[in-house]
């Protein structure tokens, strides 16, 4: 792999060469084209369902159309008799797996890969609608598809509990867990302070369930060679996938090979090991043939977790001059009876504003629905809609400009709830720069009309915590001067493979064109998961270390040849008569790996006690609302983000834009419709689940401050998720400005806007 | 998907014979809806009789000064036709507001009229649906029915017809030409689609052995100043919450003729006859437009999810008529 030559060098702002840790040079900060761009646009990039495998068979799932019950009998005779069918796998003939872990183990984070506690095809129980109860394997996909429709299942059914609103009274309190993001927090007595506050805003909000719609539906190709398993799987965590499959199939992790070179979007939906992956591996084991299973779009809705719905209350008390006296944020989410997590819905409220008192708490209900899972900014996406809408309402109540109110209540140097210091805090700058670039001073009067449309301008702030994970890397420099970084990281389209080259080039002091990266394969050193917006920063930390170690060894070699420090690596190696040099950071196995994990966790805990690190941003938008019908159009969008150092403006801005587009989907249309009588998703398709179409998305003007965070590796804060945070509120606030109506329920459909 | 066979008849007569002679046969147009339904296991034909290669893809002038649109004309070609755009703009607009460019390239006029409802319960083989399985009940009546009917529904079915094109045709008083082995007949478009009543499994009055061969448009000067307004949940690629096909003639501030049909509100495209009668001879004011719309919607029944569509229909009708009036009859 060689890096493509730079074609569009248009960084939004030049990086400060001397700011922050690490070396900056010509590669970091350049808008370099993606290294995988050509392969993807010409169709030669091979995704997990595209590997040519000799003797391949195709599998199709049979989904239960009931949400709770038991299989009384299952008739596979007709399916088995269909021409081309190799195997019909059910709970009666599937291999017994080690049961899934029931709880997360901090010393083995791969336990988090369990999508649910259901023992797929190892039980006659049905726990969620759409649960796979059989898989048909055939020589062709068409044969498997038809045979799957011939499987007859007789169920004993139990009425499911699936109505989130109706079950709210059963909600239980959620306790914050160490290592996991916060689900609660307290500063002073917010209830008392709210009661006394002269200006009060108290609003209730709802957000619906959302489901994952990555362009590439989940797909698995499984090949057994004796006791060794190879799995081609587009995933967000190769390490978890490898270890989790090893445990379930009771084989050593070293016997499970996970190949995940290209991932067609993940957004959190590919972090866990879902039913189809397990079933594909089981089927391949029984059939003794390679098996491929690509989920249908409906299959993704039915077997992969989505984003939890929420009900939220935000109450803010303020002085007449706008100082926040009390901020109360209470949220309830749901999980499945068979698993799922509480999204950190209130986390925004812990760090957006320096309210004198803060109370944030969460509850959760359990339903007979598919477990929920991470979806881009899990928690922050829903929570920011509530808190940033309430802040806007407070500004109206106070007669203050909403930007001014936000600036007035910015924390200076410490996190209001935890007391930890901000490593750096640039939200005020983002708000101010956005205000100037958008021309906020010319904001029209509320309810201004332009022809048939009402015009509204809205603003909202965004925050997303920065995460770092373990990244083991191997760096090799050879006598031709080429550098290769090897690490099982994930390229889901965000540009990681590209920015890794830029970081190595600068940290090692070699031209970008001489750097390549090997990734997406469990045979490589263990990489960080692609989640929590933390992959690039995690890689940066290890790349810096590896490059420093490499420079030391090169300089030692150089001095033997009488050459000065920092000499050209090719020359150093050639003179020393060496073919190549390799350094490693971290270890995958043995005691070193365990110590690595301990060091990682203790650093994470220490760090979280010392520093609050987060990406922040400000969204500004203009909407048009048809005065007759309530139809909403976004006319103008501008966002300014602090994501720390911007390694590659092209890929970073693209990722931020993607976050905003996904936020617009959440704002305007996305909603999973569950029939609460049957606990069944009724709109499992892109026709009826409304993601935005091109015509819904205006030009998105994205800016970054490009200011390195002094406490993050190479100053990088991560850009994967902050883009979506606050988008819904910015739109709702613009609608309020246009129409005078405060819409507190997502999506912001025209019936809610007109009222 | 179930294994099927596929036949390409060389003539209309061959097609009409095939539909009778081959068990489980169904005509295939562009396939943009039928193939989708086959993938979902909702439609399960044994044989597909492809009628897209029959000589039915022409748009021609009729002796009466109207247009005859062949049933196999692709939606894209219909919307691009100059005579359609100049004389029946409502039709071109309706087509262009439906589906996506790729779908319109495939979809035919005949297939468009015969497409099935997108009711979530019709589309889910696991759900109760009288349209799919008469007598199984209606999951939508007390379920997710936001896209459902507010006019002419029955306790057995609240589905709406999804076509935009058909709404414009109903406003234009088009006729559907159909052929069978026993001959041809012309069905006024208003009688082509039906209300659900006790038999929601029947979408149209077309007999099983009949093939739609063409749609004819009468000569209608009023149609030159017609308009289609579609209100939906996203800017494109969504079915109508409410749509309005309308034409208006105003003489000295008085409505001499108004024609309105509604989409997204009923099991069939809804001709607003009450509204039309109300407006004739009344002042062309916003207030009268709204009053007429309210008179039409007086018989509407909403559910908690569809209640909003009643007022939305009133407002969309009013806005569309207002715009036609203000444009002064210019297309």
DSSP B222: G
d(CA A36, CA A468): 25
Between 3.30.70.2860, 3.30.365.10, 3.40.640.10, 3.20.20.70, what CATH number should domain A57-159+215-265+270-303 receive?
3.30.365.10
In sequence order, the 6+-apart residues with CB closer than 8 A to the CB of A176 are A182, A183, A184, A185
Question: pLDDT digit string (tens) for B138-174?
Answer: 999 999 999 999 999 999 999 999 999 999 999 999 9
Q: Give the chain B residue nearest A630 (alpha carbons).
A: B312
User: Which of B144, B233, B241 shows the shortest C-beta gap to A675?
Assistant: B144
- Write out chain B residues lying below 8 Å of A680, CB-based: 124, 126-127
- Write out chain A residues lying below 8 Å of B150, CB-based: none
In sequence order, the 6+-apart residues with CB closer than 8 A to the CB of B263 are B160, B161, B163, B164, B166, B167, B230, B240, B242, B243, B244, B245, B269, B270
Q: Domain B224-326 has what CATH class?
A: alpha beta
DSSP A98: P
ipTM of this predicted complex? 0.96
Q: Outline which parts of chain B fall under CATH 3.30.43.10.
A: 5-50
Give A628→chain B minimum CA distance, Å: 6
Closest CA to A433 of A403, A465, A396: A403
Question: pLDDT digit string (tens) for A553-565?
Answer: 999 999 999 999 9
In sequence order, the 6+-apart residues with CB closer than 8 A to the CB of B284 are B248, B250, B253, B254, B255, B321, B325
In sequence order, the 6+-apart residues with CB closer than 8 A to the CB of A309 are A164, A206, A207, A208, A209, A333, A334
Strands A256-259 and A228-233, sheet pairing: parallel
d(CA A365, CA A168): 7
d(CA B243, CA B270): 10
d(CA A608, CA A423): 11
Q: What is the pLDDT of residue B329?
A: 53
Q: What is the pLDDT of residue A672?
A: 98
- Write out chain B residues lying below 8 Å of A695, CB-based: 234-236
Residue B180, strand partner residues: B183
Q: Which residue, chain included where needed, has tokens 């005078």?
A: A740
Q: Outline which parts of chain B fall under CATH 3.30.390.50.
A: 224-326
Q: Which helix (H) or strand (E) holds A616?
A: strand A614-626
Determine contact, residues A746/A754, Cβ cutoff 8 Å.
no
User: Which of B2, B231, B236 shows the shortest C-beta gap to A629?
Assistant: B231
CATH, range A468-607 = 3.30.365.10
The residue of B116, B146, B233, B290 whose CB has the most chain A CBs within 10 angstroms, and thus the best one to mutate to test that interface, is: B233
CB contact under 8 A, A683 and B233: no
CATH, range B5-50 = 3.30.43.10
The residue of A66, A78, A628 whose CB has the most chain B CBs within 10 angstroms, and thus the best one to mutate to test that interface, is: A628
Determine contact, residues B214/B71, Cβ cutoff 8 Å.
yes
Closest CA to B99 of B69, B64, B75, B83: B75
Residues from B in contact with A at Cβ < 8 Å: 1-3, 41, 118, 120-121, 123-127, 139, 142-144, 231, 233-238, 241, 308, 311-312, 315-316, 318-319
CB contact under 8 A, A146 and B2: yes
Q: Is A393 a catalytic residue?
A: no
Q: Token digits for A512?
A: 């970008």
- Write out chain B residues lying below 8 Å of A750, CB-based: 231, 233, 241, 312
Closest CA to B209 of B178, B186, B187, B174: B178
- Write out chain B residues lying below 8 Å of A694, CB-based: 236
Give B312→chain A minimum CA distance, Å: 6
- Write out chain A residues lying below 8 Å of B121, CB-based: 682
CB contact under 8 A, A680 and B124: yes
CATH architecture group of domain A166-211+306-466+613-754: 2-Layer Sandwich (3.30)
Q: Which residue, chain included where needed, has tokens 């001095």?
A: A559
CB contact under 8 A, B41 and A693: no
Question: pLDDT digit string (tens) for B275-306?
Answer: 999 999 999 999 999 999 999 999 999 999 99
Q: What is the pLDDT of residue B218?
A: 98
Alpha helices in A140-253 (DSSP H): 141-149, 164-167, 190-196, 238-249
With DSSP H G I counted as helix, E B as strand and the rest as coil, what are the percentages for chain B, rounded to 5? Answer: 30, 25, 45
DSSP state string for A296-360: -HHHHHHHS-BBPPEEEEEEEEE-TTS-EEEEEEEEEEEEETTB-----TTHHHHHS---SEEEE
Question: pLDDT digit string (tens) for A583-636?
Answer: 999 987 788 887 877 877 788 778 878 899 999 999 999 999 999 999 999 999
CB contact under 8 A, A677 and B312: no
Residues from A in contact with B at Cβ < 8 Å: 65, 142, 145-146, 149, 452, 628-631, 633, 668-669, 673, 675, 677-678, 680, 682-683, 687-688, 690, 692-696, 749-751, 754
Residues of chain A predicted below pLDDT 50: 1-24
Instruction: Give the start-to-end residue ranges of the domains of chain A.
Output: 57-159+215-265+270-303, 166-211+306-466+613-754, 468-607
Question: pLDDT digit string (tens) for B178-236?
Answer: 999 999 999 999 999 999 999 999 999 999 999 999 999 999 999 999 999 999 999 99
Q: What is the pLDDT of residue A25?
A: 54
d(CA B200, CA B186): 23
User: Which of A682, A693, A749 shows the shortest C-beta gap to B235?
Assistant: A693
> In what order do the strands lie in the sheet containing B183-188?
B59-61, B67-70, B211-217, B175-180, B183-188
Q: Give the chain A residue nearest B128 (alpha carbons).
A: A678
- Write out chain A residues lying below 8 Å of B125, CB-based: 65
The residue of A681, A682, A698, A731 whose CB has the most chain B CBs within 10 angstroms, and thus the best one to mutate to test that interface, is: A682
Give B71→chain A minimum CA distance, Å: 26
Give A695→chain B minimum CA distance, Å: 6
Give B237→chain A minimum CA distance, Å: 7
Question: pLDDT digit string (tens) for A353-392?
Answer: 999 999 999 999 999 999 999 999 999 999 999 999 999 9
Q: Give the chain A residue nearest B290 (alpha carbons).
A: A628
Give B4→chain A minimum CA distance, Å: 11
């Amino acid at each position: 792999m060689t890096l493509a030559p730079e074609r569009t060098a248009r960084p939004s702002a030049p990086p400060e060469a001397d700011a922050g840790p690490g070396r900056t040079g010509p590669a970091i900060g350049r808008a370099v084209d993606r290294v995988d761009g050509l392969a993807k646009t010409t169709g030669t990039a091979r995704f997990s369902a595209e590997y040519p495998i000799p003797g391949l068979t195709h599998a199709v799932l049979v989904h239960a159309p009931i949400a709770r019950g038991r299989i009384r009998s299952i008739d596979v005779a007709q399916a088995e008799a269909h021409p081309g069918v190799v195997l019909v796998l059910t709970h009666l003939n599937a291999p017994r797996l080690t049961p899934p872990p029931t709880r997360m183990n901090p010393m083995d984070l791969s336990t988090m890969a369990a999508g649910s506690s259901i023992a797929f095809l190892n039980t006659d129980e049905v726990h969620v609608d759409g649960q796979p109860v059989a898989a048909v394997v055939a020589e062709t996909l068409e044969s498997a598809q038809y045979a799957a429709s011939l499987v007859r299942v007789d169920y004993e059914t139990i009425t499911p509990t699936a109505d989130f609103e109706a079950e709210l009274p059963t909600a239980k309190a959620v306790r914050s867990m160490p290592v996991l993001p916060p689900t609660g927090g307290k500063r002073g007595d917010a209830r008392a302070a709210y009661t006394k506050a002269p200006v009060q805003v108290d609003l209730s909000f709802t957000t619906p369930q959302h489901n994952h719609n990555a362009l590439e539906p989940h797909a698995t190709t499984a090949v057994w060679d004796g006791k060794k398993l190879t799995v081609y799987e587009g995933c967000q965590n190769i390490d978890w996938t490898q270890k989790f499959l090893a445990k379930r199939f009771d084989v050593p992790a070293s016997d499970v090979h996970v190949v995940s070179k290209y991932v067609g979007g993940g957004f959190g939906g590919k972090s866990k090991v879902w039913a189809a992956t397990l079933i594909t591996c089981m089927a391949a084991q029984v059939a003794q043939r390679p098996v491929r299973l690509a989920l249908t779009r409906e299959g993704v809705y039915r077997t992969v977790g989505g984003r939890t719905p929420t009900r939220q209350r935000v109450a803010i008390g303020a002085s007449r001059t706008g100082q926040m006296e009390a901020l109360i944020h209470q949220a309830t989410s749901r999980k499945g009876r068979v698993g799922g997590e509480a999204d950190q819905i209130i986390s925004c409220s812990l760090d957006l504003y320096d309210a004198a008192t803060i109370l944030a708490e969460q509850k959760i209900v359990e339903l007979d629905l598919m477990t929920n899972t991470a979806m881009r900014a899990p928690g922050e996406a829903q929570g920011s809609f509530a808190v940033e809408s309430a802040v806007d309402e407070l500004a109206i109540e106070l007669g203050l400009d909403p930007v001014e109110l936000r600036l007035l209540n910015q924390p200076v140097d410490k996190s209001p709830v935890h007391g930890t210091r901000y490593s750096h805090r640039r939200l005020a700058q983002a708000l101010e720069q956005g205000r100037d670039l958008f021309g906020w001073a010319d904001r029209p009067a509320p309810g201004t009309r332009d022809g048939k449309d009402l015009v509204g301008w809205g603003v909202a702030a965004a925050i997303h915590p920065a995460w770092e994970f373990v990244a083991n890397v191997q760096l090799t420099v050879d006598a031709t001067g080429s550098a290769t970084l090897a690490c099982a990281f994930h390229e889901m389209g965000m540009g990681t493979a590209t920015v890794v080259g830029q970081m190595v080039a600068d940290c090692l002091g070699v031209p970008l064109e001489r750097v390549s990266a090997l990734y997406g394969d469990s045979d490589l050193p263990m990489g960080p998961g692609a989640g929590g917006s933390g992959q690039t920063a995690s890689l940066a930390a290890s790349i810096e270390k590896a490059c420093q170690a490499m420079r030391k060894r090169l300089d030692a070699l150089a001095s033997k040849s009488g050459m000065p420090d920092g000499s050209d690596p090719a020359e150093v190696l050639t003179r020393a008569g060496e073919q190549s040099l390799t350094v490693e950071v971290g270890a995958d196995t043995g005691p070193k790996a365990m110590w690595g994990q301990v060091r990682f966790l203790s650093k994470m805990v220490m760090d979280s006690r010392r520093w609050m690190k987060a990406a922040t941003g400000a969204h500004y938008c203009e909407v048009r609302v048809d005065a007759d019908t309530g139809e909403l159009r976004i006319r103008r969008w501008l966002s300014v983000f602090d994501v720390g150092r911007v390694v590659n403006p092209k890929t970073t801005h693209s990722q931020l834009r993607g976050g905003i587009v996904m936020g617009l989907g959440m704002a305007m249309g996305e909603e999973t419709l569950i029939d609460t009588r049957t606990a069944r998703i009724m709109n499992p398709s892109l026709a009826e689940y409304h993601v935005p179409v091109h015509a819904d998305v205006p030009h998105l003007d994205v800016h970054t401050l490009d200011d390195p965070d002094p406490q993050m590796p190479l100053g990088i804060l991560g850009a994967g998720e902050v883009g979506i945070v606050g988008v819904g509120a910015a739109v709702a606030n613009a609608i309020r400005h246009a129409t005078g109506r405060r819409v507190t329920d997502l999506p912001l459909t025209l019936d809610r806007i007109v009222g | 998907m179930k294994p099927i066979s596929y036949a390409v008849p060389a003539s209309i007569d061959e097609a009409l014979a095939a539909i009778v002679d081959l068990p489980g046969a169904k005509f295939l147009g562009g396939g943009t809806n039928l193939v989708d339904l086959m993938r979902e296991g909702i439609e399960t034909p044994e044989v597909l009789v492809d009628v897209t290669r029959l000589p039915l893809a022409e748009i021609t002038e009729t002796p009466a000064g109207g247009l005859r649109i062949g049933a196999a004309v692709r939606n894209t070609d219909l919307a691009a036709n100059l005579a359609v755009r100049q004389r029946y703009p409502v039709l071109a607009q309706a087509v262009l507001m439906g589906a996506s460019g790729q779908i319109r390239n495939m979809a035919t006029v005949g297939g468009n009229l015969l497409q099935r409802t997108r009711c979530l319960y019709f589309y889910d083989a696991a759900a109760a649906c009288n349209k799919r399985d008469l007598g199984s009940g209606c999951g939508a009546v007390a379920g997710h029915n936001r896209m459902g009917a507010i006019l002419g529904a029955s306790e057995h079915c609240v589905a709406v017809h999804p076509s935009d094109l058909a709404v414009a045709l109903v406003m234009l008083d088009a006729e559907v030409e159909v052929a069978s082995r026993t001959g041809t007949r012309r069905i006024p478009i208003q009688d082509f689609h039906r209300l659900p009543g006790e038999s929601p499994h029947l979408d149209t009055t077309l007999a099983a052995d009949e093939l739609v061969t063409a749609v004819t448009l009468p000569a209608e000067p009023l149609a030159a100043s017609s308009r289609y307004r579609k209100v939906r949940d996203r800017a494109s690629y969504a079915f109508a919450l409410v749509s309005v096909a309308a034409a208006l003639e105003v003489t000295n501030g008085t409505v001499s003729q108004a024609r309105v049909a509604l989409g997204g509100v009923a099991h069939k495209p809804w001709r607003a006859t009450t509204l039309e009668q109300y407006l004739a001879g009344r002042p062309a004011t916003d207030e009268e437009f709204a009053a007429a719309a309210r008179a039409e919607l007086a018989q509407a029944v909403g559910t908690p999810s569809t209640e909003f569509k009643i007022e939305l229909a009133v407002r969309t009708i009013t806005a569309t008529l207002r715009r036609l009036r203000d444009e002064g009859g210019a297309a």
